[in-house]
Amino acid sequence: MEFSINSLAPEKATGDSLVLTVSGNALPGAYAKLDAAIGGTISSLLAAGELAAKAGSVASSHATLAGRLVRLIIVQLGESIDAAAVRQAASGAARALLAAKGSSADIAAALPKGVAADELAAAFAQALVFESYRFDDFKSSPEPRSALARVNFSTGKKADAAALEAGVARGQALGQGMNLTRQLGNLPGNVCTPTFLAEEAVRLGKSHKLKVQVLDQPELEALGMGSFLSVAKGSVEPPKLIVLEYKGGKKGAKPIALVGKGITFDSGGISLKPGEGMDEMKYDMCGAATVLGTLQAAAALALPINIVGIIPTCENMPAGNANKPGDIVKSMAGLTIEVLNTDAEGRLILCDALTYAARFEPETVIDIATLTGACIIALGHVATGLYANDEALAAELLASADDTGDKAWRLPLWDDYQEQLKSNFADMGNIGGRPAGSVTAACFLARFTKDYRWAHLDIAGTAWKSGAAKGATGRPVPLLLDFLTRRAAVKKGKQ
């Protein structure tokens, strides 16, 4: 899908479809000439109440403009307009546009007070890219895709052109980053293996000029990653530690490290999961997919910041040589861990990756993991669980969650919960029992992050959807990209 910018008035639009934004049922002055040119169609639809008051509602009709038939798509911003309303309007318009038969469209946005041109353009571009995604790679007769190939943005003002261009670029990068994350998450486990993820990282490195290193089992053994390797040994698929470096910031500036859990299939190991719904355990690498999607978006926007992506990836399978409950393994940090449940494997691979992250002397480390079912019980499928050992970092992430609508909720890391991880036979157990399962998992990781500012995002409830809408969501790429953009802006201001 190609995007372009111009300053044409809406009555001079040339696309097969024309998207118009309104707030309430009043006809914006910017559309007065257009409405007159098409015989009052817009004002008639609004007066008749064809457009509901809820943000994101759509009314569609046909009109003759300059001698040709055009599909009108009128989308509601709502009376009380905020960022969430703009996103809802963009999503509604994108779905309507993609369902139309035309190959080209104009988005002629009347900007109400308080709505910036770049923010509206970013929302619409991101929604169009996001809504156009289909996962039909393995269907012999996939449904026909939308014919929409070209989209033009205009507010009718030359002064808005630069803002629109910046917004479109930001929206495209976010949408494409989310779609990469969704694509990797949706791929089946027999395709998206640790080796496949490593190859995808190399491809991303070549296309976006990232430094990529892939560490194989002998190198992981040399590093002393006994905890990570203990999970991998039950599978015939070899483990990988993928390291990507994006150097968009000042030379020598400390990077932000993103660490993503990459269990490409999680059977539970010897502590086998129930068969029902086990197919969804291909999504246990969505943390890894998030790192790749976020890095792609950051590189596409050329953010002036340094980022390191670290992805420990393997399968968790039952086998004669797999971890057994009661086994004791040694982490890269030198701490011993009693494996009380082999289905609590994510923390076993992440702890070694978090230890490895310290060698980059990061300013901040954020790990992203489909870590616990307990987080779903606590927060459902609405909010990502957020833990942090630094108050300012937690506040930054929550601000990005609020601004993007990629919701997160902070949970405690109090030392009181560390008591549940005590082991009679090792430095710690890998589970703390049923109470506060998501919290004790985060407390486990916290033991390996004492040397730097760190946050943990438990995305078990938000990385994918089940049921009829089954599929990866692309979260929390919006949250992380906003966080990185804010950090980059602060750094740029200091330089």
The active-site residue, picked from 347, 447, 475, 487, is 347
> Does the annotation mark 273 as catalytic?
yes
CATH number, span 2-158: 3.40.220.10
Q: Would you identify the CATH topology of the domain 176-494?
A: Aminopeptidase (3.40.630)
pLDDT digits (tens, 9 = 90+) for 21-62: 999 999 999 999 999 999 999 999 999 999 999 999 999 999
Round to whole Å and give the CA distance between 281 and 230.
Answer: 19
* pLDDT at residue 113, as a whole number: 82
Interatomic CA distance for residues 432 and 419, integer angstroms: 8
pLDDT band at 491 (very low <50, low <70, confident <90, very high): low
Q: How many helices (H) and strands (E) does the chain have?
A: 14, 20
Residue linked to tokens 């405690």:
412
How far is it, in rounded angstroms, from Cα 343 to Cα 328? 15
Residue in 319, 260, 313, 273 with CA at minimum distance from that of residue 477: 260
Q: Is the pLDDT of residue 295 over 90?
A: yes
Cβ atoms of residues 323 and 267 within 8 Å: no
Crossing angle, helix 161-186 and helix 286-300, to 10 degrees? 160
Active site residue 250: no
**Predicted local distance difference test score (pLDDT) of residue 459:** 98
For the cut 90, the answer to whether the pLDDT of residue 494 exceeds it is no
Confidence at 7, pLDDT banded by 50, 70, 90: confident
Q: What are the angstrom distances between the C-alpha of 94 and each of 133, 154, 244?
A: 12, 16, 33
Angle between helices 117-131 and 161-186 (to 10 degrees): 30
Q: How confident is the model at residue 269 (pLDDT cuts 50, 70, 90)?
A: very high
**Cβ neighbour number for residue 88 with a 10 Å cutoff:** 22
**Annotated catalytic residue, options 95, 247, 273, 486:** 273
Please tell me the total number of residues recorded for the chain in this structure.
495
DSSP 13: -
Answer for the pair 385, 401: CB distance below 8 angstroms, yes or no. Answer: no
Q: How far is CA 201 from CA 309, 352, 395, in A?
A: 10, 20, 30
Enumerate the β-bridge partners of residue 308.
245, 257
Q: Which two tokens stand for residue 248?
A: 């968009």
**Per-residue confidence at 495, pLDDT binned at 50, 70, 90?**
very low
Which residues are CB-contacts of 427 (< 8 A; sequence separation ≥ 6)?
A: 335, 336, 337
Tokens, residue 172: 């495209």
Tell me if the bond preceding 325 is cis, omega within 30° of 0.
Answer: no
Residue 80: its pLDDT value, please? 86
Coil vs helix vs strand at 138: coil
- Those residues with Cβ within 8 angstroms of residue 4's Cβ, 6 or more apart along the chain or in another chain: 150, 151, 152, 153
**Left (φ > 0), alpha (ψ -120 to 50) or beta: where does 19 sit?**
beta
Q: What is the pLDDT of residues 362-411, one digit of tens each?
A: 999 999 999 999 999 999 999 999 999 999 999 999 999 999 999 999 99
Secondary structure element (H or E) that encloses residue 375, with its range: helix 373-379
pLDDT of residue 114: 81
* 423 closest CA partner among 327, 345, 352: 327
Question: Comparing C-alpha atoms, which of 246, 302, 292, 303 is closest to residue 485?
Answer: 303
Domain ranges in the chain are 2-158, 176-494
pLDDT value of residue 172: 98
Mean pLDDT of the residues in the chain: 96
Helix (H) or strand (E) holding 299: helix 286-300
Q: pLDDT by residue (tens digit) across 316-352?
A: 999 999 999 999 999 999 999 999 999 999 999 999 9
